[in-house]
Structure 1
Amino acid sequence: MQFKSTSSYIAPDDLTMAVNAAITLERPLLVKGEPGTGKTELARQIAASLGLPIVEWNIKSTTKAQQGLYEYDAVSRLRDSQLGDARVHDIGNYIRKGKLWQAFEAPGKVVLLIDEIDKADIEFPNDLLQELDRMEFHVYETGETVQAQHRPVVIITSNNEKELPDAFLRRCFFHYIRFPDAETLARIVAVHFPNLKPRLLSTALEQFFELRETPGLKKRPSTSEMLDWLKLILASDLAPEDLKRDPATMLPKLHGALLKNEQDVALFEKLAFLARRQTR
C-alpha cells in the first residue's frame, strides 16, 4: 500500500515519503502548513491513490473529542419514555455514532481525516490519545467495547493556530508542507489548466511570486488562491501584457483573488506612492 501523486494532485517526494512512512508505522500523519497548501485535499488524494473510502471529521472550536466516538441522546430517550415509546428499552437507539466509530466499524480499511485539530480546545488532542493509540474505546451506556476491524490511515491537519501537546505529538509522524517552488507550482497549475499557454503561465508565476515575497505582507497568497487567480485570468481572456501591475497602485490585475485583507492592499498602494515620490 503505497501513496503516490494522482492525476489531480502533485505530491513532492518528501510528502510522498512522509505519507508512506506513516502508513508503514501505522501512526497518524500530522500535517502542518500554510492555509491553502492542500492539507485537507491530501487526505482525499491519499484515499483516491490507495483506493480507500474516506471518513472526514471537520473540527470546530466547539468540537469535543467525545463527539468523535459517540453521543448519548438522553433528552430524546426521556421524551420517548414520557410518550410511552417502546424504543426506550434499547439504549442503543439513542447512541449516535461519531466519525471514529464509523471508521473503526468500516468493513475495510479507510482513510480517517481529522481536519484542523488546532481549532478545538487544547485538551482535545489529549482526549483522543488512547483511542488513536489502541484503536478502541468503551461505550459506557451499553457496556460494549468498539475495536477497529481494520486500522484506518489517520491524517490529522493543523494550521498551527495553537501548540499541540507533546504526548500527542509523540504518537504522530509529522510533516510540514512547504510552499512549492516555481517548478513544482507550474506542475500543479498544469494539472488544473493543461492548455495554459507557457508565456502566460510564466508571466503569471513571476507576478505571483513577486507579490508573495513582498516584505510586510500580512497574508501571503496560497496555492489555492493562485489557482483561483489563473481561473479568472483565463475567464477574462487576459494576455501576458495585461498582467502588468497598475503603476498607480502596484496591484496586479484581479488582485482580490490573491490579497484577502485591506492592510495588504494598502501596503501596495503605499509602495506605489513611495515609488512615485522617488521618481520626482
Structure 2
Amino acid sequence: MRFDGTSAYVATEDLKVAVNAAIALERPLLVKGEPGTGKTVLAIEVAKALGAPLLEWHIKSTTKAQQGLYEYDAVTRLRDSQLGDERVKDIRNYIKRGKLWEAFTHEGRPVLLIDEIDKADIEFPNDLLQELDRMEFFVYETGEIVKAKQRPVVIITSNNEKELPDAFLRRCFFHYIRFPDQETMQAIVDVHFPGIKQRLVAEALRLFYEIRDVPGMKKKPSTSELLDWLKLLMVEDIGPETLRERDPKKLIPPLHGALIKNEQDVHLFERLAFMTRREGRPQ
C-alpha cells in the first residue's frame, strides 16, 4: 500500500514520505498544520488512493475516548426490561460499536480518520494509548476482546489547540504540513479550477500572500479560503485589473469576507488604509 497523491490532492514529496512511512511502520500518522491546509482531506484522498474504506471520527470538546470503542445503553435496557422486551436477554443488543471497533473488525484494511484530536479533553489521547498500540480492547459487558483483524491506517489531525502527551506522541509518526509556497499553491488552484484565467490567479495569489504577510494579523487566510475567494471572483466576474488597483481607500480586497474572518483584522486593514491616505496628503 503506497500513497503517491491523487488527481484531486496536491501532496508534497515530504507528505507522501510521511504517509508511506506511517503505513510501513503500522503507526498512526499525526498531522498538524494551520487550519485549512488539507489535513482532513488528506485522509479522504489516502483512502481513495489505496482503494480502502474510510471511517471518520470527528472529535468534539465533549467526545470521550470510550465512544470510539463502544457505548453501553443501560437506560434503554432498563426501560425494555420494564416493558418485558425479549431483547434484554442479550446485552449485545444495547452495545453500540464505535469507530475503532468498526475499524478493527472491517473486512478490508480501512483508513481511520481521528479528526481534530486536540479539541477533546487533555486526557483523551492518553485514554487511547493501549487501544492504538495493541489494536485491541476489552468489552466488560460481554467479556470479549475485540482485536484488529489487520491494523487500520490511522490518520490523526490536530490544529495545535492543546499540547499532546509525550506518551501519545511516541506512538505516532509525525508530520507538519507547512503552508504551501506560491508554486505549490498554483498547482492546488489548477487542480480545483482547471480552466481559470492565469492572469487572475497571478494577481489573486500576489494579493493573498501580501495579506498573509501583514504584521499583526490575528487569523491569516488559509488555502481553503483562497479557493473560496477565487470561486467568488469568477462568479462575480472580477478581473485581475480590479485586484491590481492601488487606491488607498481600497486596501481591503473585493469580497474580502472570504479571506478575512476576524473583525480585528478588518480594523487593521482600515487603519493601514487611513495611514496610507494620510501619508499621501500634500504637506
Question: Is TM more than 0.5 here?
Answer: yes
**Distance in 2 (alpha carbons) for counterparts of 1:163 and 1:249:** 40
Match of 2:58 in 1: 58
**Alpha-carbon deviation of 1:249?**
4.3
Match of 1:146 in 2: 146
Match of 2:42 in 1: 42
Please say if 1:92 is aligned against 2:95. Answer: no
**Distance in 1 (alpha carbons) for counterparts of 2:198 and 2:250:** 27
**Alpha-carbon deviation of 1:244?**
3.3
Match of 2:29 in 1: 29
The 5 Å alignment of 1:1-280 reads 1-244=1-244, 247-280=248-281
**Distance in 2 (alpha carbons) for counterparts of 1:267 and 1:169:** 38
SS of the residue aligned with 1:55?
strand
**Distance in 2 (alpha carbons) for counterparts of 1:93 and 1:239:** 61
Contact 2:251 2:269 in 1 (8 A): yes
For these two proteins, the number of residue pairs brought into alignment is 280
Structure 1: where are the runs of 5+ without partners? none
Q: Letter of the aligned partner of 1:188 in structure 2?
A: I
**Distance in 2 (alpha carbons) for counterparts of 1:198 and 1:118:** 38
**Distance in 2 (alpha carbons) for counterparts of 1:19 and 1:164:** 20
Q: Letter of the aligned partner of 2:176 in structure 1?
A: Y
Deviating above 3 A after TM superposition, structure 1's stretches of 4 or more consecutive aligned residues are none
SS of the residue aligned with 1:248?
helix
What root-mean-square deviation, in Å, do the aligned CA atoms of Structure 1 and Structure 2 show? Answer: 0.8
TM-score, length-normalised on structure 2?
Answer: 0.98
Contact 2:118 2:159 in 1 (8 A): yes
Q: Letter of the aligned partner of 1:257 in structure 2?
A: A
Q: Letter of the aligned partner of 1:5 in structure 2?
A: G
Q: Letter of the aligned partner of 1:234 in structure 2?
A: M
Q: Letter of the aligned partner of 2:84 in structure 1?
A: G
Structure 2: where are the runs of 5+ without partners? none
**Distance in 1 (alpha carbons) for counterparts of 2:200 and 2:92:** 60
1:202-247 per-residue CA deviation (whole Å, 9 max, x = no partner) reads 1111011111111111000000000000000010111110113552
Contact 1:249 1:268 in 2 (8 A): no
Contact 2:39 2:157 in 1 (8 A): yes
Q: Letter of the aligned partner of 1:66 in structure 2?
A: Q
Identical positions, percent? 72
Contact 1:114 1:154 in 2 (8 A): yes
Contact 2:55 2:99 in 1 (8 A): yes
